Structure 1
Amino acid sequence: MNIKKIIPILEWLPNYTTSRFKGDFIAGITVGIILIPQGIAYALIAGLPPIYGLYAALVPQTMYAVFGSSRQVAIGPVAMDSLIVAAGVSTLALTGSDSYIAIAILLALVVGAIQFLMGVFRLGFIVNFLSKPVITGFTSAAALIIGFNQFRNLFGVDFVRSNQIQYVIKDVWNNISTLNTHTTILGFVAIIIILSLRKINKKIPNALIVVIFGILSIKYLGKSLFDVAIIKEVPSGLPSFSIPEIDFQQIRELLPIALTLVLVGFLETISIGKSLEAKQDEYRIRPNQELIALGLGNMAGSLFKAYPTASSFSRSAINQESGGTTGMAALVSVAMVVITLLFLTPIFYFLPKTVLAAIIIVAVFGLVKVKEGIHLWKANKLDFSLLLTTFLATLFLGIEYGIFVGVGMSIIILIFRTSKPYIAVLGAVPDSDFYKNSERFKNVIIEEDVLVIRFDAQLFFANASYFRDNLDDLAEKKGKALKLIVIDAESINRIDSTGVEMLIERINFYKKKGITVYFAGVKGPVRDTLFRAGILNSIDINHFFMNIFTAVKFYKTGDREHQIKYAEYIHHTYK
């Protein structure tokens, strides 16, 4: 057993150098500066007191630095997961209450346990069922929901909180006239500052600057801005150790939202991890190890009052851009949060909630991928429909339903595509040994007595009938002149028992009609399956050819030179 695979920090820590530490230190400080105001803001999205955003930035980050396979991913509270937490927990308890907080912490334990078990049993492949259009549609809709839910803090109006956008928009429309002028102006000034600083240089810590701006505004213009809601008291000190109260009834109720968080958190981590991986050649992302690291982070975090966490797209990118190359950068960020919790929390007393809303709104609206939707509309209508369906389902049914609609649609499209793959009729290219698709190459020669078809997929139970029906239709169009069918199997990489039975049945069917069936370019594993299933009881071993040209030539001229060699090779292999 390779201990370094289980504990990836051992891959880089023994050879760690001071030159690396300089880059990690700067990156850790930079990410920490952004993480602290974001953590406070995201806790508000989750319906939790601000301090819990900082608690969520401690243990999960530390655990990931030790067990994560990526050395640059930044773990902690994130906007999307925070909204999912709010959507799920708010149905079980009053937002902000002690019971609500306890359930959110229990949710972290449940999410972590599922992630850990998935990693141990190597179930990371599940993420493959979430295609890029599903991810884009889900993220874009979730971003809009998060943004619109922050209008309550941006405008200073107690709008309804919901993960179904139609209810939020309706309430905003009905009550926008009651907005708090001071709150709204301060919030929009913060948005303008953030956007302006981004245009100047994306590396400028705009979140920190507007936080300082907001605190100073309230502190020195407090009399004029007396009606602006502020954070107020933020407790000092590190979170105490406590085991979440296990309530199996609550766990059952939390399972749908927990599974959503597992999928979304894993997706976020893998997506950003893969993009960072491509920019270096020192390490590789291991999906199952990522699940284990996320699981351990969430489980251990729940023992220290953390709610569910995942990787942050923005903080991970900043970590890499600032020179972070190992998990040491994450540990530096943790140290900054510890210092803040011990000594700096009183500073945030005057922090306006509208400034936090501004930070969140600018961050999440950047996740709405309009250009991706336009590109898919032009490039692939089916993928666009998948994106649109996921987007609308998430937007109007809720985040927890949107992700499952996306997964369901992905599976349906996968089944549709594999059940009706492309079938091509091939013709001979003049003066060559090649055969090409007759629909794409108009100059190919199609002979009356020969039908050459290519099936571009695995042949299994879901498409065996489709293959048979198309073969019969094409053979019928040839009429009585047809004497030879050549199945180009070069694109068939797998075949199951249903596919084999269908082929044997068709071979026998056409044999009675005086039509011979040849196979060309059959891959070794497919040929193994065919032979084990007894296809040689219906067809001669000499009816398998290296390519189409040899098969047709053998049929026309009886030239056995190449075929004898190939048949001898097959016979030697299977005798």
Structure 2
Amino acid sequence: MRGLTTGLARYLPILDWARNYNGTTLTSDVVAALIVTIMLIPQSIAYAMLAGLPPEVGLYASIAPIIAYAVFGTSKVLAVGPVAVISLMTLTAAGKIAPAGSAEFIAAALILAFLSGAILIAMGVLRLGFLANLLSHPVVSGFITASGIIIATSQLKSILGIEAHGDALPELVQTLAQNIADTNLPTLIIGVLSTAFLFWVRKGLKPLLVGFGLAPRPADLIAKAGPIAAVAVSTLAVIFLDLEAKGVKVVGTIPQSLPPLTMPLFDLALWQSLAVPALLLSVIGFVESVSVAQTLAAKKRQRIVPDQELIGLGAANIAASFSGGYPVTGGFARSVVNFDAGAETPAAGVFTAIGILIAALFLTPLLYSLPIATLAATIIVAVLSLVDFKTPRTIFAYSKSDFAAMMATILVTLTMGVEPGVIAGVSLSLALFLWRASRPHAAIVGRVPGTEHFRNVLRHTVITDPHILTIRIDESLTYLNARWLEEFISEQVALHPSLKHLILMCSAVNAIDASALESVEAINHRLKDGAIKLHLSEVKGPVMDALKRSHFLHELTGKVWLSQNEAFEGLLGETVPTEENPLR
């Protein structure tokens, strides 16, 4: 029975952490949930409106998905729910189906959540979590930076109280400029003051509270709950100053209800049109979520299982699709708050969901007069923390190719929109990976005097021989670089007319696939025609096992040497001493 429970815990992590749950853990989780709930209520509403959905949808997306993740996810502190980038991607994808806020638009958002969940679960079952590694960090960073700029720009319309639209920066800026004369002054005042206050809260409130004698941790948690003060003050201002009558747009009526039981509309044509956006949502959501989860897990020396995370996030999105929500993932800001507040287990997420549920049932009337400008300020402050202008400079100094990929992703996202940006990012990541894999690093090496070590002739003073050439290959040999290896060796042979022995030093070669084996066989035959013997040195066990299953070793003109030094010493003895090379 214990073995069965352990096996199930692999797919149901709740069976693992719930086994040792106690009163102390309960207290920590409840306190963390209370703090996250306070933060999440206005944030969920803001992100739903960013996605073009009714405000209550944000609350619904913060209930069932959190519970589903608590059952299937492996992170102890990851807080799942609506996030800015996924909200923008939802708006872009569903906006191609129907106008934002319409019944068809909401139906498309539900389908996106369901398809994204199904894709994530399928990837988890097939153990495809490694695919996220194909998105390089510079490309992901570039996409998130560009998305943050677009999101912040899109919210300026709510700060100004004017109309603006567009999926990319040029159109947004153009429509903002065209309508800026219609700016509503009370809305602008609320928006600017809320934004300034929230920026100050992030940086200035904690030092102020610590200066008054409050301990750093509670001071930090109070600072993170700052948006609640902005919500409360701006809402009271609207009520007592009758600002709605002066043109200030408010959230309005939010239904007091449990999350509805919804069913994603089955329309094959609609599903096909949303399949690619759902895939992009899945990949970006997973990369963002697992990055946050691994960062926080490392601080507590805990372990995240990427394949199970796929299942956990997939279950969360499936739950969203059946409970009136929209696509969700793990959020950085709320997860950090959850961690700092002392959450010990995913049960903190369950308690957060209960808190949001209570808010959806009883507190929504209090949000009727909440200015949309305040929600816009909340979004602007949140997403600008994602905009990173330091990383491009660092990457430029380190790798020009990575910098080019990052800047291309930023430019495509800013000028063409989120989906083209994601596609460009994925394409650039793959292209960069393939380009690098097709051009492995290789070095001509010689022996360091007085040692048995062999190093690059261009970097060290080493002993070489005109009749012996050693090429160290620093990557596995595959179909991607097989032709490159042939050309590289042909070039080196032409540069060394006295060559009699060529050694491939394979200390860094972990595999040789069928295509590469054919190339090595061709190299062996060509060298034989030129009276040059091909040797291998330091071949790893698994690679040697594979070679033994072929005819290559029987046709090899030279030998397979255990060590490079042994090969060099052995072949030196076969060459004829000359005045130019007295070492022999």
Q: Distance in 2 between matches of 1:536 and 1:316?
A: 56
The normalised TM-score by structure 2 is 0.92
More divergent stretch after superposition (116-125 vs 417-426): 116-125
* Counterpart in the other structure of 1:14: 19
In the alignment, which of 415, 418, 432 is matched to residue 434 of structure 2?
A: 415
Q: 1:107: how far off?
A: 2.0
**Contact between 2:244 and 2:250, CA under 8 Å: does it hold in 1?**
no
1:106-145 to structure 2, matched below 5 A, reads: 106-145=111-150
Q: Report SS of the residue matched to 1:340.
A: helix
Q: Which position in structure 1 is the counterpart of 2:156? A: 151
The Cα offsets for residues 40-60 of structure 1, whole Å up to 9 and x where unpaired, read as 101111111111110111100
Shift of residue 523, structure 1, vs aligned partner: 0.9
SS at match of 2:449: coil
Deviations 1:378-430 (A, max 9, x none): 11111111111111111112111211111111111111111111121112211
Partner of 1:266: 286
The equivalent of 1:280 in structure 2 is 300
Distance in 2 separating the partners of 1:152 and 1:448: 73
Post-superposition offset of 1:121: 2.0
Selected match of 1:34 from 29, 32, 39: 39
Matched, 1:207 2:227: yes
Q: How does 1:310-321 map to 2 (within 5 A)?
A: 310-321=329-340
- Contact kept, 8 Å, 1:37 with 1:208, in 2: the verdict is yes
What are the within-5 Å matches in structure 2 for residues 146-545 of structure 1? Answer: 146-160=151-165, 162-199=166-203, 200-201=205-206, 202-203=220-221, 204=223, 205-222=225-242, 226-281=246-301, 283-441=302-460, 443-479=461-497, 481-539=498-556, 543-545=559-561
Q: Is the Cα–Cα contact under 8 Å of residues 517 and 543 in structure 1 kept in the other structure?
A: yes
- How far apart, in 1, do the equivalents of 2:504 and 2:291 lie? 40
Check the 8 A contact 1:143/1:367 in 2, yes or no.
yes
Deviations 1:217-261 (A, max 9, x none): 111122597221111111111122232321111111111211111
| Structure 1 residues 462 and 267: alpha-carbon distance in aligned structure 2, compared to 1, 3 A threshold | same
CA–CA separation in structure 2 for the residues paired with 1:255 and 1:249: 10
**In 2, Cα distance between equivalents of 1:95 and 1:539:** 68
Q: CA separation in 2, counterparts of 1:163 and 1:61?
A: 29
The aligned amino acid for 1:227 is: G
- Spell out, residue by residue over 1:2-23, the C-alpha distance to the aligned partner (whole angstroms, 9 max, x if none): 0111111111112111111222
Instruction: Output one character per residue of 1:169-213: Cα deviation in whole Å (capped at 9) or x when no partner.
Output: 111122223211111111010011111111122432111111011
Distance in 2 of aligned mates of 1:536 and 1:339: 72
Q: Residue 256 of structure 1 contacts residue 400 of structure 1 at CA under 8 Å; is this kept in 2? A: no
1:44 paired residue among 44, 49, 52:
49
Q: How many Å separate the matches in 1 of 2:553 and 2:111? A: 61
- Check 1:3–1:551 CA distance in 2 against 1; reply closer, same or farther (3 A cut): same
Residues 142, 546 of structure 1: alpha-carbon distance in 2 compared, 3 angstrom cutoff: same
8 A Cα contact 2:62 2:82, kept in partner = yes
What is the CA–CA distance in structure 2 between the aligned matches of 1:535 and 1:510, rounded to whole Å? 14
Cα distance in 2 between the residues matched to 1:416 and 1:437:
23
The corresponding residue for 2:567 is 551
Distance in 2, matches of 1:98 and 1:346, equals 23
Contact 2:468–2:571 (Cα < 8 Å) also in 1: no
**Residue range with higher mean Cα deviation, 491-500 or 305-314:** 491-500
Distance 1:244 1:538, change over 3 A: closer
Gaps of 5+ in 1: 560-575
Q: Which amino acid aligns with 1:18?
A: G
- What is the 5 A alignment of 1:558-573? none
Q: Secondary structure at the match of 1:519?
A: strand
Of the structure 1 ranges 230-239 and 528-537, higher mean CA displacement relative to structure 2 is found in 528-537
SS, match of residue 350 in structure 1: coil
Match of 1:568 in 2: none
Distance 1:223 1:300, change over 3 A: closer
CA RMSD of aligned residues (A): 1.6
Cα offsets for 1:299-341 (capped at 9, x unmatched):
1222221111111110001100110110111112111111111
For 1:232 and 1:309, locate their aligned partners in 2 and report how far apart those are by CA, in whole Å: 24
Question: For 2:523 and 2:107, how far apart are their aligned partners in 1?
Answer: 64
Q: Look up the equivalent residue of 1:386 and give its one-letter code.
A: A
Q: Deviations over 1:472-510 (max 9, x none)?
A: 21121111x222212111111111122222222222322
Number of residue-to-residue matches in the alignment? 554
Contact in 1 for aligned 2:439/2:484 (Cα 8 Å): yes
Q: CA deviation at 1:104?
A: 1.4
Distance 1:206 1:557, change over 3 A: same
In 1, Cα distance between the equivalents of 2:123 and 2:570? Answer: 54
For residues 386 and 325 of structure 1, what CA distance do their matches in structure 2 show? 39
- Deviation per CA, 1:514-538, whole angstroms, max 9, x where unpaired? 2222211111121222222211222
Instruction: Mark the runs of 5 or more structure 2 residues left unpaired by the alignment.
Output: 207-219, 576-584
Q: For residues 241-287 of structure 1, what are the alpha-carbon distances to aligned partners after superposition, in whole Å with 9 as ceiling and x for unaligned? A: 23232111111111121111111111121111111110113x42112
Question: CA contact under 8 A between 1:454 and 1:487: conserved in structure 2?
Answer: yes
List, as ranges, runs of 4+ consecutive aligned residues in structure 1 with deviation greater than 4 Å: none
Matched to 2:247, the amino acid is D
- The residue type paired with residue 275 of structure 2 is L
The aligned amino acid for 1:288 is D
Deviates more, 1:231-240 or 1:135-144: 231-240
Deviation of 1:465 (Å): 1.7
Aligned partner letter, 1:486: I
CA drift of 1:63 comes to 0.6
Conserved in 2, the CA contact under 8 Å of 1:497 and 1:533? no
- Tell me the alpha carbon deviations over residues 327-376 of structure 1, each in whole angstroms, 9 at most, x when there is no partner: 11111211111111111111001100000000000100110111111110
Give the counterpart letter for 1:520 in structure 2.
S
Is the Cα contact below 8 Å between 2:227 and 2:378 reproduced in 1?
yes
- Quick one: distance in 2 between partners of 1:286 and 1:334? 23
How big is the shift at 1:558?
A: 6.1
What is the percent sequence identity of the aligned residues?
34
